[in-house]
Amino acid sequence: MTHTIQPNNPETTPAPDATDVPATAASAPRPAASSAVPAALKRRIPKYSDLAPLMQFKKPEFSKEARLKRASTIWELRDIAKRRTPQAPFDYTDGAAEAEITLRRAREAFLDIEFRPGILRNVSQIDLTTDILGKSSRLPVGIAPTGFTRMMQSEGEYAGSQAAEAAGIPYTLSTMGTASIEDVAAAAPNGRNWFQLYLWTDRDRSLELIERAAKAGNDTLMVTVDTAVAGARLRDVRNGMTIPPALTIKTVLDASYRPAWWFNFLTHEPLTFASLSRYTGTVADLINSMFDPTLTFEDLDWLRETWKGKLVVKGIQTVEDARKVVDHGADGVVLSNHGGRQLDRAPIPFHLLPDVKEAFTKDNSDAAIILDTGIMSGADIVAALALGADFTLIGRAYLYGLMAGGRAGVDRAIQILEKDMARTMALLGVNKISELTPDHVRLLNK
């Protein structure tokens, strides 16, 4: 049966009788207030059976695995790392140049955004895979090149490369790494290994490294171009940071409540830059004595002709330079200010990102845009992808995990970022990275 609702007709609808008029709120009788107390609110003596489920005390756990599991953010891994690592190596990782303004601004840039979520989307499945430089990566983040990594924790580059291999993401070995190109390739034979190069004044030495990287199966060469001279890393100066670390009264006292770090340091192979000759002095002195302040785009042309794999230029801080290195043969750029460790008050990569993306789009360029500096959560990564990055790199974020627990700590850092990314994308209403757009993020201040 179909029910049809007829409109009122004032000519046929009878006027209501006075008796049909409902009582108003003022004339209606009010119900008497109840004085009864609900049974659930009556006081009583608790029974043991009620208390027992609330008194399940968990046995304290002090293992490395339990410690890492309790960390749910990269910042919490940093706290653990600081407790377990002597001041000099921790500050080498944690610090930046001069007043550290650049690093602080880079991290604040990721905080100073507003996500714009979509609703009523089916987000039961989240796909974090992406393509970068011709190959697939299970996550849109890789491990950035970091120097002297075994100083932070004895497993160093071996832990980083093996964790990256297990996670299905790229690992980048630094020229100033403490494991050799060949040893990293052997430690992570099924991983996607990249090599970061500083062009030396001695081109034959640079060529030797390039050939070794190719022979070891590295498919991408990442040349860093923002180290004409060393930045003023004042924490290292104050700590007397040298290569290898010197045993002073201060360091011995610092070791007294961090015995695990010193036990590992003293019972493993001495620290050296594995790709370089043995060197004694400060990091700044090494950079200033070895790296070439006369580099030009002609040197990039030479490198493009020499290296047959993918070529990425790291340290891009202006739109003009991003365009120019692509014109000179780069397959991708890394928007980076060296983690704030070189020029203080340098441009912030996250702020630069939309302009570089717009320029590449106008140029019909398919060069990859990779971003680092300031990333401390998976939400940071998602924001970068939404604003135009093809990929991201983490340095300090994974090193905090390394210092907190070696290989297991790096695994934990990657797990935290993966969980963050998946949750953020689901809450934004997207299933895969290709669905992220600038509409999902609003920069509050730039």
SS in 3 state form for 328-386?
CCCCEEEECCHHHCCCCCCCCHHHHHHHHHHHHHHCCCCCEEEECCCCCCHHHHHHHHH
401 domain-assigned: yes
pLDDT digits (tens, 9 = 90+) for 174-210: 998 999 999 999 999 999 999 999 887 778 888 999 9
Q: How far apart are CA 246 and CA 249, in angstroms?
A: 10
Average pLDDT, the chain: 87
Residue 197 has phi, psi (to 5 degrees) of: -120, 135
Q: Is there a catalytic annotation at residue 328?
A: no
Q: How far apart are CA 53 and CA 101, in angstroms?
A: 51
141 domain-assigned: yes
Domain total in the chain: 1
The larger pLDDT score, comparing residue 47 to residue 363, is at 363
384 domain-assigned: yes
Quick one: 15 exposed, middle or buried, by C-beta within 10 A (0-12, 13-18, 19+)? exposed
CB atoms within 10 A of CB 46: 8
Q: For residue 222, list its beta bridge partners.
A: 196, 312
Annotated active-site residue in 3, 338, 351, 440:
338
The larger pLDDT score, comparing residue 220 to residue 148, is at 220
Domain around 288 = 64-443
Collapsed DSSP state (helix, strand, coil) of residue 312 = strand
pLDDT of residue 372: 97
74 domain-assigned: yes
276 domain-assigned: yes
pTM comes to 0.85
Q: How far apart are CA 414 and CA 152, in angstroms?
A: 18
174 domain-assigned: yes
pLDDT digits (tens, 9 = 90+) for 18-36: 444 444 444 556 666 667 8
51 domain-assigned: no
54 domain-assigned: no
Query: Binning pLDDT at 50, 70 and 90, where does residue 280 land?
Result: low
8 A C-beta contact, residue 236 and residue 92: yes
pLDDT digits (tens, 9 = 90+) for 38-93: 887 888 887 877 777 777 767 766 688 888 999 999 999 999 999 999 888 899 99
pLDDT of residue 24: 47
What are the DSSP calls for 22-89, one per residue?
PPPTTTSPPPPPP-PPPGGGS--PPPHHHHGGG--PPPP--SHHHHHHH--SHHHHHHHHHHHS-HHH
Q: Read off the CATH number of the domain in which 355 is found.
A: 3.20.20.70
